[in-house]
Amino acid sequence: MLEVIVVVFLALGVFFLFVGAIGLLRFPDFYTRLHATGKCDTLGVALVILGLLVYHLFYYSDTPLVCVKLLFLILFIFISNPTATYALMKAAYRTGLKPWKLGDERR
Protein backbone atom coordinates (compact mmCIF):
# COMPACT_ATOMS: atom_id res chain seq x y z
CA MET A 1 0.00 0.00 0.00
CA LEU A 2 2.78 2.36 0.96
CA GLU A 3 4.62 1.69 -2.28
CA VAL A 4 1.47 2.61 -4.18
CA ILE A 5 1.31 6.01 -2.46
CA VAL A 6 5.00 6.66 -3.13
CA VAL A 7 4.70 5.61 -6.77
CA VAL A 8 1.63 7.80 -7.24
CA PHE A 9 3.50 10.83 -5.85
CA LEU A 10 6.57 10.13 -7.99
CA ALA A 11 4.52 9.49 -11.14
CA LEU A 12 2.53 12.70 -10.66
CA GLY A 13 5.74 14.65 -10.13
CA VAL A 14 7.39 13.15 -13.20
CA PHE A 15 4.23 13.86 -15.19
CA PHE A 16 4.34 17.55 -14.25
CA LEU A 17 8.07 17.78 -15.01
CA PHE A 18 7.42 16.10 -18.37
CA VAL A 19 4.62 18.54 -19.20
CA GLY A 20 6.90 21.43 -18.26
CA ALA A 21 9.64 20.11 -20.53
CA ILE A 22 7.18 19.75 -23.43
CA GLY A 23 6.00 23.32 -22.81
CA LEU A 24 9.59 24.57 -22.79
CA LEU A 25 10.21 22.95 -26.17
CA ARG A 26 6.92 23.64 -27.90
CA PHE A 27 5.70 27.07 -26.75
CA PRO A 28 6.41 29.96 -29.11
CA ASP A 29 8.13 32.66 -27.01
CA PHE A 30 9.84 33.57 -23.74
CA TYR A 31 6.77 34.38 -21.66
CA THR A 32 4.85 31.26 -22.55
CA ARG A 33 7.91 29.10 -21.93
CA LEU A 34 8.38 30.61 -18.50
CA HIS A 35 4.68 30.06 -17.89
CA ALA A 36 5.12 26.37 -18.59
CA THR A 37 8.35 25.75 -16.69
CA GLY A 38 7.77 28.03 -13.71
CA LYS A 39 4.62 26.34 -12.50
CA CYS A 40 5.17 22.76 -13.65
CA ASP A 41 8.71 22.52 -12.28
CA THR A 42 7.70 23.82 -8.86
CA LEU A 43 4.85 21.37 -8.46
CA GLY A 44 6.71 18.48 -10.09
CA VAL A 45 9.80 18.78 -7.92
CA ALA A 46 7.65 19.24 -4.82
CA LEU A 47 5.68 16.06 -5.58
CA VAL A 48 8.84 14.03 -6.26
CA ILE A 49 10.36 15.18 -2.97
CA LEU A 50 7.07 14.43 -1.19
CA GLY A 51 7.22 10.88 -2.53
CA LEU A 52 10.80 10.50 -1.28
CA LEU A 53 9.72 11.93 2.08
CA VAL A 54 6.92 9.39 2.53
CA TYR A 55 9.26 6.56 1.52
CA HIS A 56 11.94 7.70 3.96
CA LEU A 57 9.46 8.28 6.77
CA PHE A 58 8.25 4.69 6.75
CA TYR A 59 11.31 2.69 5.74
CA TYR A 60 14.04 4.63 7.58
CA SER A 61 12.06 6.00 10.52
CA ASP A 62 15.19 5.99 12.73
CA THR A 63 16.48 9.15 10.97
CA PRO A 64 13.52 11.56 10.91
CA LEU A 65 15.85 14.57 10.51
CA VAL A 66 16.14 13.79 6.80
CA CYS A 67 12.37 14.23 6.47
CA VAL A 68 12.59 17.67 8.09
CA LYS A 69 15.34 18.64 5.65
CA LEU A 70 13.21 17.48 2.72
CA LEU A 71 10.25 19.49 4.06
CA PHE A 72 12.45 22.61 4.22
CA LEU A 73 13.57 21.87 0.67
CA ILE A 74 9.93 21.81 -0.51
CA LEU A 75 9.20 25.04 1.38
CA PHE A 76 12.15 26.92 -0.12
CA ILE A 77 11.46 25.65 -3.63
CA PHE A 78 7.88 26.85 -3.24
CA ILE A 79 9.10 30.30 -2.20
CA SER A 80 12.08 30.83 -4.48
CA ASN A 81 11.03 29.24 -7.78
CA PRO A 82 7.97 31.46 -8.41
CA THR A 83 9.99 34.50 -7.34
CA ALA A 84 12.72 33.68 -9.85
CA THR A 85 10.11 33.23 -12.56
CA TYR A 86 8.52 36.55 -11.62
CA ALA A 87 11.85 38.39 -11.64
CA LEU A 88 12.82 36.94 -15.05
CA MET A 89 9.42 37.80 -16.49
CA LYS A 90 9.51 41.35 -15.18
CA ALA A 91 13.07 41.91 -16.40
CA ALA A 92 12.13 40.67 -19.87
CA TYR A 93 9.06 42.94 -19.93
CA ARG A 94 11.03 45.99 -18.82
CA THR A 95 13.74 45.47 -21.45
CA GLY A 96 10.98 45.65 -24.06
CA LEU A 97 10.41 42.05 -25.16
CA LYS A 98 7.05 42.01 -26.93
CA PRO A 99 4.71 39.12 -26.12
CA TRP A 100 3.93 36.65 -28.87
CA LYS A 101 0.65 37.10 -30.74
CA LEU A 102 -1.28 34.63 -32.85
CA GLY A 103 0.20 34.56 -36.35
CA ASP A 104 3.71 35.64 -35.31
CA GLU A 105 6.73 33.47 -35.94
CA ARG A 106 8.09 31.18 -33.24
CA ARG A 107 11.00 32.77 -31.37
Site stretch for another protein (CB under 8 A), options 25-33, 38-46, 56-64, 72-80: 72-80
**Could you tell me the smallest distance in angstroms from the CB atom of residue 59 to another protein?**
22
Q: Assess 87 for contact with another protein (CB under 8 A).
A: yes
Q: Assess 71 for contact with another protein (CB under 8 A).
A: no
Beta-carbon contacts of 49 under 8 Å, excluding residues fewer than 6 positions away, are: 13, 70, 73, 74, 77
* d(C-alpha 8, C-alpha 23), whole Å: 22
Q: Assess 83 for contact with another protein (CB under 8 A).
A: yes
Q: Assess 90 for contact with another protein (CB under 8 A).
A: yes
- Closest by CA to 27, choosing from 40, 15, 14, is 40
